[in-house]
Amino acid sequence: MGAQIAGPAPLRNTALLGLGVHRPERIVTNHEICQQIDSSDEWIQSRSGIKERRFAEDTGETVLDMAISAGRKALEAAGITGDRLGAVIVATSTYPYQTPQSAALVADALGTGGAAALDISAGCAGFCYALGVASDLVRAGTEDYALVIGVERMSDTTEPTDRSVRFIFGDGAGAVVVGPSDEVGIGPTVWGSDGSQADAIRQEPDWVNFANNPDQKRPWIIMEGTAVFRWAAFEMGKIARQIADKAGVELAALDAFVPHQANLRINDVIVRQLDLPETVAVADDIIETGNTSAASIPLAMEKMLRTGQVQPGGLGLLLAFGAGLSYAGQVVKMPPLAQ
Ligand code: UT7
C-alpha cells in the first residue's frame, strides 16, 4: 500500500470583505447613441430603463486598467494588501486576448507575488460564477483570500450602428475580496446553463475565419433580445427562489435584491413574481450604467451601498444571467466599500 494523501482542511465560512469599482469617466447619453442608430431617447428609456451608460477611453481604461483599478479599491476596502491574495479570478467576455489570461497580468499588477490566476467566460453571469468558485476555494482551504473581478468593454464588441444591441451595453469593472469569516457571509451558489439557446446571444463571425470572409466583417455581439427577455422573465424568478431556499433565507428577510442589470422591465417582472415587499431595495444601476455584462452585479452593489439603499452587512440576493444562456447567484452579506 502506498503513502496516504493528507485529508482536506475543515470547511470554513466565507464572506465578501470589500468591494471596489471602476466607472469610466465618459458618460454617453441616449442622444449620442441615437446619432448612429435609428432610435430615440424615449424608446430606449421606455423599453430598457437606460438613460445613459459609460464608455471607456482608449488610454487608461483598457480591460486590464479597469480590472486593476477596481481590484485595488476592493483590496483597500477589505484592508488587505495584494500579497495576501492566493487567487485572482476575472470574469470577462471582452478582454481582447485569448492568451495569456487577463487574471495573470492583474495578479502581477496588484503585487500578489504569483497568485493562481484564471479568467471565466460565462457572459453576464460571469461575476456570480466566479464568486461561487472563489467562495468554494476559500471554504475548502485551498486559499485564504481570493479576488473576484467582473470587467467589460462592451463598447468594443457592439457594432455602433446595430440598434438591437448598441444602446444596451456599457463599460466598467467591479471587484470583491473573498476571505474566511466567523459567520456565513456567502451562501451556496445556484448556477446552470441552457446551451440549446446559445444562439440568443452570440459572437458572429468567429475570430479565426473572419479574415477570410470577402467583407472581412469583424466579430460583433448579436442578440435576439426578445428571446433573452422571455427566458429571463420566465425562468429567473424561479432561480431567485432556489438561491434563497438554498441559503435558508426568506425573500422578505432580504435587505437588497441585486439582479443583473439587463433591462429594468425584466427586473420589474421578476420582482412581481417574487412578490418582494417594499422593504427589499432593488438595484437600478442600469439607468445610469447600461448593461455592463460581467461587471453589472458589483457595479449595482456599489451604487446601492454608496447611496445608502443598503448597508454593509445587509442581506443581498445576487442573480446574474445572460449568454449561454447561463445564470448564477447567491445570497451574500453586503461588503464594505473603501472610505
Ligand atoms: O445581458 C445579456 C442579457 N440581455 C438581455 O437580457 C436583453 C433582453 N432583451 C431586452 O432587453 C429587450 O428585448 C430589448 C430592450 C433589447 C428590446 O425590447 P423589445 O421590447 O423586446 O423590442 P423588440 O425587439 O420586440 O422590438 C419592438 C419594436 C420593433 O418594431 P415593430 O416590429 O413593433 O414595428 C422593432 O423593430 O421596436 C423596434 N426596435 C427599435 N425601435 C427603436 C427594435 N430596436 C429598436 C431601437 N429603437 N433600438
pLDDT of residue 163: 95
The packing angle between helices 41-48 and 264-274, to 10°, is 20
SS (H, E, C) 9-25: CCCCEEEEEEEEEECCC
pLDDT of residue 207: 87
128 is catalytic: no
Block residue for cell numbers 422593504: 279
Half-sphere exposure of 54 (CA within 13 A, CB side): 21
Q: Residue 227, exposed/middle/buried by CB under 10 A (0-12, 13-18, 19+)?
A: middle
12-178 CATH, one of 3.40.47.10, 2.40.40.20, 3.90.600.10, 3.40.50.720? 3.40.47.10
Residue pair 74/18 in contact by the 8 Å Cβ criterion:
yes
Taking CA atoms only, the protein residue closest to ligand 1 atom 35 is: 164
Which candidate in 30, 263, 267, 291 is catalytic? 291
CATH of span 188-332: 3.40.47.10
The answer to whether the 12-178 and 188-332 domains have the same CATH topology is yes
Which candidate in 30, 128, 260, 267 is catalytic? 260
Taking CA atoms only, the protein residue closest to ligand 1 atom 4 is: 262
Would you say the pTM of this structure is higher than 0.75? yes
Block residue for cell numbers 442581506: 315
Residues with CB under 6 A from ligand 1: 37, 39, 43, 47-48, 124, 163-164, 167-168, 201, 225-226, 228-229, 232, 262-263, 266, 291, 293, 322
Residue pair 244/331 in contact by the 8 Å Cβ criterion:
yes
**pLDDT < 50 positions in the chain:** none
Burial 254-288 (b: 16+ CB within 10 A, else e): bbbbbbbbbbbebbebbbeebebeeebbbbbbbbb
Taking CA atoms only, the protein residue closest to ligand 1 atom 14 is: 225
What whole-number distance in Å separates Cα of residue 111 and Cα of residue 134?
Answer: 19
Angle at 210 between CA 207 and CA 214, to 5 degrees: 175
Which candidate in 22, 30, 124, 263 is catalytic? 124
pLDDT of residue 9: 86
Taking CA atoms only, the protein residue closest to ligand 1 atom 46 is: 39
The 3-state DSSP class for residue 200 equals helix
Q: For the chain, what is the total number of helices (H) and then of strands (E)?
A: 9, 14
Q: pLDDT tens-digit profile of 112-134? A: 999 999 999 999 999 999 999 99
For the chain, the domains span: 12-178, 188-332
pLDDT of residue 135: 98
192 CA to centre of ligand 1 in angstroms: 25
Q: How far is CA 117 from CA 57, 86, 89, 146, in A?
A: 26, 9, 6, 10
| Single-letter amino acid code for the residue at 265 | R
Quick check: bond before 160 cis, omega within 30? no
R_g of the chain, CA atoms, integer Å: 19
70 CA to centre of ligand 1 in angstroms: 32
219 CA to centre of ligand 1 in angstroms: 21
291 is catalytic: yes
pLDDT of residue 242: 98
158 beta partners: none
